[in-house]
Chain A
Amino acid sequence: MTAAPEPDDAPAERPPRGFAGLIDLLRPRTTWGQLAGGLLCLVLGFAVVAQVQSNKRDTTFATARQDELVGVLSDLGQRSERLRGDLRELEDTKGDLERDVQGETALEEARKRATTYGLLAGTLPAEGPGIEMLVTDPRTAVRSVNLLDGLQELRDSGAEVIQVNDVRAGAGTYFLDAAGGIEADGRLLRPPYRFLAIGDPHTMTTALNIPGGVVRTLEAAGAAVSITPRTRMAVSAIRSR
């Protein structure tokens, strides 16, 4: 152990054991070695207090390492950049609205919002970059839950508009197993299932292809999946309700 020399270094008379030993331990002996030990213990006590005090002052960042701090800083930088962009946009809108006496800009703003909501609700056709995912199902092994997983994965990876065969997916879209295919929102989909999703093609492709993800599950079930990124495509199906 640390301060234990070889046993043959032991002094001739053994110190008393038990609590007598403890008292013997406390008996003052003034040798240079003892003084040096005392000095070291003084430094130790001082260092402990200094460390405890400095830990008390700020616990969040004092113990963090450099790379963690860099991560926190860059996160904050990105967030403030994003917020500054939002702020600029809102300032622009505010300026437009203030300048606009006839209510022209307000109308424009409202129309834009109506378009956004229409796209999200699925009542408007949409156009933009995205991917086409074709699921061929020769053994009719694809269940409704697989399609639901695919839809959720696309939503999670940022798809704004999704169409499955001729059904536009909305917030309340459901899938049911049915004879000869899968029923979606009351309409029967027959294989092959064709997903059209508008969003960032790269992000969606990556999300679908993760190990254990949608594509792997479908392939394990016996279906074939092909994903084609498109720079421009149209989603024409709309929801009537």
Chain B
Amino acid sequence: MIALIGLVAGVVLGFVLEPTVPLWLQPYLPIAIVAALDAMFGGVRARLEGIFDEKVFVVSFVSNTIIAALIVFLGDQLGVGSQLSTGVVVVLGIRIFSNAAAIRRKLFGA
């Protein structure tokens, strides 16, 4: 519930403040967001499976976003940034789908 409120509050704040993404963050923010979405879906799934742990959620959320951004950063340094960010998005996308499928199974039993 608090997470949902936080999400809504964040969206509202974003619309009210209209922030500009700083230049150095621009390549990494989209990947970090996808990683965070993955962590969020994972959290919902864990909650529905009854194995949710706030500490695990917070740590995985933070570490996932940082690692995703780091991978893209490393890729940029190596000159394969765009390919690597595509790879990261694909992997995270697969995880989001499998988490969504698990959530769906828990909710609808199908």
Physical interaction between A and B: yes
List chain A positions with a Cβ less than 8 A from chain B: 1-5, 7, 9-11, 14-15, 17-19, 21-22, 25-51, 53-54, 62, 65
Contact of A33 with B57 in the complex, beta carbons under 8 Å: yes
Contact of B6 with A4 in the complex, beta carbons under 8 Å: no
Contact of B14 with A48 in the complex, beta carbons under 8 Å: yes
B86 CB to closest chain A CB (Å) equals: 12
Closest chain A residue to B5, Cβ basis: A38
Distance between Cα atoms of A54 and B9 in the complex (Å): 19
Hey, which chain B residues are within 8 Å of A40, CB to CB? 3, 6, 36, 58, 61-62
Partner of A3 from the list B14, B33, B43, B50 (CB cut-off 8 Å) is B43
Hey, which chain B residues are within 8 Å of A19, CB to CB? 107
9 closest cross-chain pairs (CB), A and B: A33-B54, A45-B10, A49-B14, A2-B42, A38-B6, A38-B2, A42-B6, A41-B6, A42-B10
Hey, which chain A residues are within 8 Å of B53, CB to CB? 3, 5, 9, 33
The interface size bin for chain B is 35 or more
Distance between Cα atoms of A39 and B61 in the complex (Å): 11
Closest chain A residue to B56, Cβ basis: A5
Contact of A37 with B14 in the complex, beta carbons under 8 Å: no
Known: A26-B1, A44-B36. A37 touches B6 (CB 8 A): yes
Hey, which chain A residues are within 8 Å of B7, CB to CB? 41-42, 44-45
- 8 A Cβ contacts from B44-102 to A: 44-58, 60-62, 64, 76, 81-82, 95, 98-99, 102
